[in-house]
Chains A and B, each alone.
Chain A
Amino acid sequence: MGLLIRLAAAASTTLVLATAVHADEKVEYGEYLSGSCVTCHQLSGADNGIPAIVGWDAEAFVEVLLSYKTKERDNKAMQTIAIPLSKEEMEALAAYFATIKAKE
């Protein structure tokens, strides 16, 4: 039970952190856009065949999405996702995912 309590506490901390920055429009927009990311890139940070993207540095996040958009990086699914995204949308996603802590 101890582990569960610690996990719940970590999750609550994450929730509080996310709520505090929720006033930020970029994060709110990013959270909305993330709907199509989280079926593959789990919010828990679990990593089964698809890399975790939670808690990344926002600039690095945008760089990676841009490299899919330019097809510099290879994955077809990610290219398809990145191509219609504007830089503003990439920044919103980056801002949102930066607020999420992976569950240990």
Chain B
Amino acid sequence: MKLNRREFNIAAGASTLTLGLGAAPMVFAGNAKPKVVVIGGGTGGATAARYIAKDSKGAIDVTLIEPTKRYYTCYFSNLYIGGFREYESLGHSYAKLASEYGINVIHDWAVTVDRKKKMVVLGSGSMVPYDKLVVSPGIDLKFASVAEGYSVADQGIFPHAWKSGTQAQLLKAKVTGMKQGGTFLMVPPPNPFRCPPGPYERISMIAHHFKNNNPTAKIVILDPKDKFSKMGLFKDGWERHYKGMIDWQPLSSLGGLKSINTATGEFVTDLDTFKADAACVIPANTSGQIAKTAGLTNDKGWCPIHQGSMKSKVDPDVYVIGDASVASSMPKSGFAANSQAKVCAMAVRGELTKSKVFPARYANTCWSLIAPNDGVKVGATYKAGDKKIDPTSKFISKNGEDADTRQATYEESVGWYAGITADIFG
């Protein structure tokens, strides 16, 4: 349901022109509307901004701080790598959030937060005051944690593509450009990380590309984990569709990853050295940096929250949602971030306008495409438990499901993508 902001703003005497950086809708004198600032215009932040603006019906001033002018989703980027989606289909504009919901979208970085003064300091030097702050910064990557010889300087050679956009395009180019019969190597991240099945869907998509374009290519996975999300489903699918192509090895059986040589493509473990012609290295994840500079993280680098509202345990005027939050047992995913954003939006509105607050409900579904029309999913519904977010029911696809079920599962994911991006960006 879209609030017609044009009608509201004209009635209120405010300008409907938002020209981007620095331009805010004019407000009439004596306005004491409560202010919410959202840091991060990804899946969590943009959803929170839209729901707070839409459901408060103009009673709350919403500002969204996001450096990029076009959001490229991480989810479905694997399908782009596999050749199932066009790159531009992953991209979404902030225009409607600005023009139809009256959100002040500022394309800038939040570099620090003064929580005493309740002010967000932007990279450009401007300062944005808030009554309530929603922080949805996603992740940053711990490049130094992978192995000796690998740093942020190397992400252009062995991309992580664990944030979408240019890195996804680069990874696709590396995959499609790999020599015939070459070896593609992936180092997935250790727990906890965003999108638990993601690296393995990515392997499936790369294998699909190789099957059709580079059939003698090989894929090696050196995993810091001993098991992974939907492992049984992926291994079954890889055996059926990509027999003999994919070799998954836990690093625990190799004595750990000691060093990476980006010039020679050598990945050295205690027991063996692997030579890669192309590679994807996904470092350990941590909260987006602003969560740390704002003082919202614990000693593990993630943000503890109250499970009924997503309010930070560190500061009652700050909420943290999405990947950066400690929201177990929910996984870190786009679906989860969008779900948490709605609970957060309801809680924020309740605090600022005394609107009704219902008990928190959360949900998540993660779809993965293994091969054309062979999709699997895992998901659950949740409520706020005594200590954390607890599942109320769960499901996972099963091996041996018929082809129709797997095709329907894939088609649901396509419908979901259209639905969630409309839900986030209007």
Q: How far apart are the CA atoms of A47 and B400 in the complex, in Å?
A: 28
Contact string, A39-50, partner B, CB cutoff 8 A, digits 1/0? Answer: 111111011111
Determine if A42 and B418 form an interchain contact, defined as CB atoms under 8 angstroms apart. Answer: yes
**CB within 8 A of B358: which of A29, A46, A47, A79?**
A29
Q: How far apart are the CA atoms of A52 and B395 in the complex, in Å?
A: 22
Number of interface residues of A (CB under 8 A): 32
A100 located at the interface, meaning its Cβ lies under 8 Å from any Cβ of chain B in the complex = yes
Query: In angstroms, how far is the closest chain B Cβ from the Cβ of A57?
Result: 20
Determine if A80 and B419 form an interchain contact, defined as CB atoms under 8 angstroms apart. Answer: no
The residue of chain A having its C-beta at the shortest distance from the C-beta of B4 within the complex is A12
Determine if A41 and B419 form an interchain contact, defined as CB atoms under 8 angstroms apart. Answer: yes
Determine if A15 and B365 form an interchain contact, defined as CB atoms under 8 angstroms apart. Answer: no
The residue of chain B having its C-beta at the shortest distance from the C-beta of A15 within the complex is B1
The A-B contact count (CB < 8 A) is: 96
Determine if A33 and B380 form an interchain contact, defined as CB atoms under 8 angstroms apart. Answer: no
Determine if A15 and B397 form an interchain contact, defined as CB atoms under 8 angstroms apart. Answer: no
The residue of chain B having its C-beta at the shortest distance from the C-beta of A28 within the complex is B356
Number of interface residues of B (CB under 8 A): 38
B379 located at the interface, meaning its Cβ lies under 8 Å from any Cβ of chain A in the complex = yes
Determine if A39 and B346 form an interchain contact, defined as CB atoms under 8 angstroms apart. Answer: no
Contact string, A20-53, partner B, CB cutoff 8 A, digits 1/0? Answer: 0000000011001101101111111011111000
The residue of chain A having its C-beta at the shortest distance from the C-beta of B392 within the complex is A84
Query: In angstroms, how far is the closest chain B Cβ from the Cβ of A99?
Result: 9
Contacts of A80 in B (CB 8 A): 379-381, 393-395
The residue of chain B having its C-beta at the shortest distance from the C-beta of A16 within the complex is B4
Residues of B within 8 A of A (CB): 1-4, 7, 51, 335, 338-339, 342, 346, 356, 358, 361-363, 365, 377, 379-381, 383, 392-395, 397, 411-416, 418-420, 422-423
Residues of A within 8 A of B (CB): 8, 11-12, 14-15, 18, 28-29, 32-33, 35-36, 38-44, 46-50, 76-77, 79-81, 83-84, 100
6 smallest beta-carbon distances between A and B, as pairs: A50-B415, A49-B415, A49-B411, A84-B392, A35-B342, A36-B363
